[in-house]
Amino acid sequence: MTAPITPTAPAPAPTPTTARTPAQADAPAGRDPGRALHAPVITWFDEHARDLPWRRPEAGPWGVMVSEFMLQQTPVNRVLPVYEQWLARWPRPADLAKEPPGEAVRAWGRLGYPRRALRLHGAAVAITERHGGDVPTDHAQLLALPGIGEYTAAAVASFAYGQRHAVLDTNVRRVLARAVTGLQYPPNATTAAERKLARALLPEDERTASRWAAASMELGALICTAKNESCHRCPIAAQCAWQLAGKPRHDGPPRRGQTYAGTDRQVRGRLLAVLREAVGPVPQTVLDRVWDEPVQRARALDGLVSDGLVEPLPGGLYRLPLT
């Protein structure tokens, strides 16, 4: 099912490396430097890709968009049940748009980072009002939707519509860092050099480019993982710059770790859990039982109100937002 890879793409601008990488060295002068990577990674993907609901044709562009919102910083196994329930309840953007935003927060459950639910609701409203209820195909129109950033716009355009865009999530960035630049990990934040490299490595053919985007992401999720990578099963291990260099250890800035216990995030999650389960407004006294430390509890609640996730009412009552 893989489209043929175009072998005569014009050479991109040089990437910010001091020497030609193994992938570049294998490519003839004047040809695509990623050519040696595309075929083996896409072939591996065709054989080993997970059967995920948002990859099925029936998911449609809206299903792809919902999955992209949910999968940000959240593992697949936690997303799957919420995704299925969400699409069963709101199979089209207009179905979600006519509900209060608080219902999106309620249905989000414990996926974490619940502002994503509000942003997805806002995107559904905009799609309904501006695009007749259909997720737009144009990348610029996707990027103009509320809550849609560079990554999500590229991912939806690529995965839903088969367009040619550099889709740079954490997994793809790690694959490119290792296979092409010879580094164990990418920088903490996406850099202009990474974007330039990702664009340079894109296949010229649109369908092949969209398959490459999905395949390189899956490779990072299943094989080229952050820890305990399975290089012996990697389809490009023989040409991976990091592997060929002896897998040198990361010597850049410390990698950011995620903490949860005892943080404001944990308090916010507990407060939201009470509000999600309530059938009506919740008194302040009930929320006070969520966390013993009053200053942190108040700060977390104020943050939820400020973010639009919680609506304060007269008489010391709180609820999920209706508007």
Token pair of 105, please? Answer: 């927060």
User: Which whole number is the average pLDDT over 37-49?
Assistant: 97
Tokens at 133, concatenated: 């209820």
What are the residue numbers of the active site?
68
State the alpha helices, DSSP H only, in the chain.
22-26, 35-48, 60-71, 76-89, 93-97, 101-108, 115-130, 139-143, 150-161, 170-179, 192-200, 206-222, 241-244, 264-277, 284-288, 294-306
**What amino acid occupies position 13?**
A
Contact 209, 4 (CB under 8 A): no
Mean pLDDT of 24-52: 77
The pLDDT of residue 33: 61
What is the predicted pLDDT for the residue at 257?
64
What number is the average pLDDT over the span 302-308?
96
Higher pLDDT, 217 or 21: 217
- 250-263 in b/e form (b: 16+ CB < 10 A) is eeeeeeeeeeeeee
pLDDT recorded at residue 28: 37
Comparing 8-22, 51-65, 103-117, 201-215, which segment has the lowest mean pLDDT?
Answer: 8-22
Share of the chain above pLDDT 70, in %: 89
**Average pLDDT of the residues in 145-162:** 96
When pLDDT is averaged across residues 197-213 and rounded to a whole number, the result is: 96
What pLDDT does 10 receive? 39
Distances (CA, A) of 97 to 89, 122, 164, 192: 12, 8, 29, 35
Amino acid at 114: P
Residue 17, pLDDT above cutoff 60: no
